[in-house]
Structure formats: structure tokens, C-alpha cells
Amino acid sequence: MPGTPEKSEPFAAMQSVPEARLWAERVAARLWTLQTSFADDPPSTRHDYLVEEIERSIKEVGESRRSEYLGALMERFPGPERIDAPYFKPPEAETVERGPQQVADELIARLPEFSNEEKAALAQKLQALGVFVSPSNSIELPLELLGKLGITPNETLDEERFIKLFTALLEMVITLDHLIWNVWRNVAPKSSVRREQGSDNPRRTIGRYLSGDREVASLQITQMLEKTRQLIAGLLSAIGPAGEIFARKHLERFAPEKIRASVESKSPGFISNIELRCWRRYVELSANLSGQAVETQIVDGIVSYTEELISRSEIRGR
């Protein structure tokens, strides 16, 4: 109809973009987030998380185009971190002769893989050789923790600094614990992800544990902190996917091709201009779009992704 083209300009302005490249960028961002969030987990566990994320994302792509999308994802990892989707393959190790210091460094790095009995046997051998001498009248930390901190067993720890560091770290953990659970209660009041019973006051629970209260076991402290760690990692990891989830649902209704298909499936009535009909359909759909509705959809996406990630982590833990 004459005089109507300018009304259809907003609809016509919605153009398609290279989908494979955008998909690869979003997936790569989530992979780096997962890698960072679970940096302390064993490499095999991080590998499983990354593989599951790729497999979950590629399910959204038609089989005929999966090679194209995976190729775009591989282009995001051109260096040593290159992947062969949907699985990560570590670079081939080169055979290099290692010196004594390198062997010692590797031993320290792999101490977490030792059982308690193996650690005790190793300590005895080092003591017999005069390499490892337990410091007297000082704080003793497990060899596993010493290795992570880059401290050799024969170094004496500064007790005053140790107490100051412990105080600062404890305050940070308590503050983060309080903040993250308050945020979670606000965004997911009906979620099944909840604190363990008796863990609602971590400051008091930790105090009882340090004072030797036998009713507070080491496992209880570990589980309490692990639950908080999972929630923090889950919420941070969900930030990226939440936007994609909202965008996908939004485009299911507002994408130009979706609107055109909906309009063409109906009788044209007295309006024959397809662009004008599409624009009117877009306006009708937008009537139910509000700031609160957008916020609710984004929050729901964050909650769902966080719950799924925590559930997978708990299954692996069991």
C-alpha cells in the first residue's frame, strides 16, 4: 500500500549474521569460563565439563551443518590450546631429557596424586637421605599444600604471617559465602539447591571445628565449603549461557523468518503487503515484551544452567 514502506523499515533492518562464527564465539567463551571456574579440579574432570558443553551446544545445530560449526569453533583455538571438536586432545609430548631440578619439580607437582601412605613413605626416604628435615616448633602443613604454594618441606613457615593470612582468607570466604547464598535465595527461592542442614552459620561452624568440637567433623567443613564453591562457580559460569538462552528463545518468536512464516501461514485479509503484515505481527508480539519479562527470562536461564552444573558436579563427586 502507498505510504507504508517506512513502517516496515524496523523489520527489514533485522538482518542475518554469520551463524557459525557467532555460535563458535559463544561456545568458546563458555569453554574458557568453565576452564577458569574449575581450574582446581583434576584435568580429567575439566575435560569432561568441556566435552559436555560442546556436545550440548552442537545439539542445537542441524546435522548437515555441524561440520561447519565445529570448524568455526576449531578456528577459535589456533594455538597450543587447539581442539578437535567435540573432544580436546592434548598436544603431543616431546621427549626431552630432564634434569634433577625438573624431576624434583614434577614430584612436588604430583604430590596430590599420592595416597597418605605413599606420602609417609616418601617423607621417610627423604629424611633418611637428609633432604627432608621437619622444622621444630613451627607450623607444619601437608606436603600437598606445600607443593601448591611452592614451599619446600625444609622451609620454616612464619607463624605470625600464617595467622594473618588465615584471618584474611577466612573473612573473605565468610563474606562470599553469605553473599552468594543470599543472591541465590533471591533469584531461585524454589530451587532444590540448598545449604546442608546446620551450615547456615559458617563462621560459628568453623569456630567450633577449630576449637576441637567433635560434633563438627572435617567432612562437614569440606562439604560446606564445596557447596559454596559449586554455587559460585555455577553462577559465574551461567552468565554467558544465560544470554544465549534468552536470545534463542527471543529469536524463536521475533526472528524475521519466524514472523514471515507465521504471517504467510495465515489469510492475508485486506492487507496484501507482506512487509506491512510482518511489521504489524512484530508489533503484536512486542506488546507482551517488557523489562520485567526480559529480566525473568534471563534469571530463569541463569538458575537452570547453575542447577544443571551443580547437579553434574555432585554426580561426579558421588
Instruction: Give me the pLDDT at residue 250, please.
Output: 74
Question: Chain centroid to CA 138: how far?
Answer: 38
Q: Do residues 132 and 207 both lie within one domain?
A: no
Boundary of a domain, candidates 141, 157, 173 = 157
Is 5 among the domain residues? no
72 contacts 54 by C-beta, under 8 angstroms: no
Name which residue leads in pLDDT, 199 or 204.
Answer: 204
**Residue 199 three-state SS:** coil
Does residue 165 share a domain with residue 220? yes
* Residue corresponding to grid cell 583455538: 77
Say yes or no to pLDDT of 276 above 90.
no
Total domains in the chain come to: 3
In a domain, 3, yes or no: no
89: phi then psi, degrees, rounded to nearest 5: -120, 125
Same domain, residue pair 46 and 150: no
Reported as a pLDDT band with limits 50, 70 and 90, residue 4 is very low
pLDDT-derived band at 102 (thresholds 50, 70, 90) equals confident
Mean pLDDT of all residues in the chain? 77
Same domain for 199 and 79 = no
Q: 191: which 3 cell numbers?
A: 530451587
Q: Let me know whether 171 and 288 are in one domain.
A: yes
Q: Per mean pLDDT, which of 24-33, 34-43, 225-234, 262-271 is the most reliable?
A: 225-234
| pLDDT of residue 209 exceeding 50 | yes
Whether residue 180 is found in the same domain as residue 318: yes
Last residue of a domain, one of 66, 90, 114: 90
Are 83 and 190 within one domain?
A: no
In a domain, 9, yes or no: no
Checking if the pLDDT of 5 tops 50, the result is: no
**Do 148 and 251 reside in the same domain of the chain?**
no
Taking residues 224-241, what's their average pLDDT?
87
In a domain, 141, yes or no: yes
Average pLDDT over residues 12-16: 39
Evaluate whether 233 touches 310 at the Cβ level (below 8 Å).
no
Same domain, 121 and 246: no
Residue 315 scores a pLDDT above 90: no
pTM for this model (two decimals): 0.47
Q: Distance between CA 113 and CA 100 in Å, rounded?
A: 20
Question: Is residue 97 in a domain?
Answer: no
Tell me the pLDDT band of 75, cut-offs 50, 70 and 90: confident
Domain stop point among 43, 60, 90: 90
Check: CB of residue 208 under 8 Å from CB of residue 217.
no
Q: Helix, strand or coil for residue 157?
A: coil
Domain that residue 205 falls in: 158-318
- How does residue 136 score in pLDDT terms, banded at 50, 70 and 90? very low
pLDDT at residue number 132 = 59
pLDDT at residue 13 is higher than 70: no
Residue 61 lies in a domain: yes
Residue 258 lies in a domain: yes
Q: Rounded mean pLDDT of 267-279?
A: 76
80-94, 151-165, 174-188, 285-299: least confidently modelled range = 80-94
Residues 71, 133 share a domain: no
Helix axes 218-254, 159-187, angle to 10 degrees: 40
Contact of 222 with 241, CB cutoff 8 Å: no
Report if residue 96 sits inside a domain. Answer: no
Report pLDDT digits (tens) over 141-182: 888 888 888 988 888 888 888 889 999 999 999 999 999 999
Please state the rounded mean pLDDT for residues 240-253: 76
The predicted pLDDT at position 138 comes to 60
The reply to whether 121 and 204 lie within a common domain is: no
Q: ω into residue 5 within 30 of 0, thus cis?
A: no
Per residue in 110-133, pLDDT (tens digit) is: 888 888 888 888 887 877 777 655
| Residue 69's pLDDT band (cuts 50, 70, 90) | confident
On whether both 146 and 174 belong to a single domain, the answer is no
